[in-house]
Structure 1
Amino acid sequence: MRTFLAILYVIPFIVFSQTNKKLEPRILNNFKIQIGYQNGYVFATNDFIKGINGENNRINAFQAFTLKFSKQTTGINKWEQLFKYPSYGVGIYLADFHNPEEIGTPIALYGFFNAPFKRWSKLTFNYELGFGATFNWKSFNPITNQYNIAIGAGQSFFIDAGLNLEYRLNKKMDIAAGFSFTHFSNGALKKPNKGINNLGPKISFKYNLKDRPFFIKNNLSSYIGEKEWLISAFGGIKNVIFDNANIDIIEKYEGLNFPVFGVSTVFNKQVSYKSKFGIGMSFSYNGTLDAQVAIENNQLEPVESAFSNKIQISIFPSYELIINKVSLIVQPAFYLFRKKIKNKTPVFYQKIGIKYHFSNNLFAGITLRDYSFHVSDFIEWNIGYRIKWREK
Structure 2
Amino acid sequence: MFHINLLLYFCFVIKLCFKYRLFFAFFFIFKIGFAQDDFHNLGIKGTFHHGFIAPHKPLVNEVIKGHTQIFELSLYKNTVGERQWEQYFNNPKIGISTMIINTGNDESLGKAFGILPFVEIPLNQWKIKWNLKFGFGVGYIEKPFDRETNYKNLTIGSHFNALIFVNSLWNLPINERFNTSLGLSLTHFSNGSLKRPNLGINLLSVNCGIGYNFGKKKQLVPFNEVNKEKKWNSFVAVSGGVKEIPPIGGKKYLVYSFAYQWIKTTSNKSGFGGGTDVFYNTSLEPLIKRVQNEDKGTIGNFRFGIHGAYQLTLGKLTLQLQVGGYAYTAYKDNGNIYSKLNSRYFVSDKLFLNLSLKTHYAVADFIEYGIGFKLK
> TM-score, length-normalised on structure 1?
0.81
Q: Distance in 2 between matches of 1:168 and 1:354?
A: 32
Letter in 2 for 1:329: Q
Q: Distance in 2 between matches of 1:213 and 1:175?
A: 21
Q: Is 2:49 the counterpart of 1:38?
A: yes
- Displacement after TM superposition at 1:72 (Å): 0.5
Letter in 1 for 2:254: P
Q: Is 2:363 the counterpart of 1:375?
A: yes
What are the within-5 Å matches in structure 2 for residues 18-29 of structure 1?
A: none
Per-residue deviation, residues 277-296 of structure 1 (Å, max 9, x unmatched): 10111011111113179xxx
What are the within-5 Å matches in structure 2 for residues 1-392 of structure 1?
A: 30-51=41-62, 58-59=64-65, 61-120=67-126, 122-210=127-215, 213-242=218-247, 253-291=248-286, 306-340=297-331, 344-372=333-361, 374-388=362-376
Q: Which ranges in structure 2 are unaligned for 5 or more consecutive residues? A: 1-38, 289-294
Deviates more, 1:222-231 or 1:170-179: 222-231
Per-residue deviation, residues 358-392 of structure 1 (Å, max 9, x unmatched): 111111121001122x421101112111122xxxx
Q: Secondary structure at the match of 1:149?
A: coil
Q: Secondary structure at the match of 1:210?
A: strand
Q: Distance in 2 between matches of 1:127 and 1:226?
A: 28
Contact 1:42 1:59 in 2 (8 A): no
- Displacement after TM superposition at 1:276 (Å): 1.4
Which of the two has higher C-alpha Rg? 1
Q: Distance in 1 between matches of 2:216 and 2:202?
A: 38
Q: Secondary structure at the match of 2:181?
A: strand
Tell me the percent identity. 27
Per-residue deviation, residues 281-327 of structure 1 (Å, max 9, x unmatched): 1011111113179xxxxxxxxxx971111110111101111000001
Contact 1:330 1:353 in 2 (8 A): yes
Letter in 1 for 2:52: Y
- After superposition, the CA RMSD in angstroms is 1.9
Letter in 1 for 2:54: F
Q: Distance in 1 between matches of 2:363 and 2:66?
A: 19
- Displacement after TM superposition at 1:50 (Å): 1.5
Number of equivalent positions = 332
- Displacement after TM superposition at 1:239 (Å): 0.9
Q: Secondary structure at the match of 1:377?
A: strand
Q: Distance in 1 between matches of 2:236 and 2:87?
A: 30
Give the aligned partner of residue 247 of structure 1.
none
Contact 1:137 1:155 in 2 (8 A): no
Contact 1:172 1:211 in 2 (8 A): no
Give the aligned partner of residue 23 of structure 2.
none
- Displacement after TM superposition at 1:29 (Å): 5.1
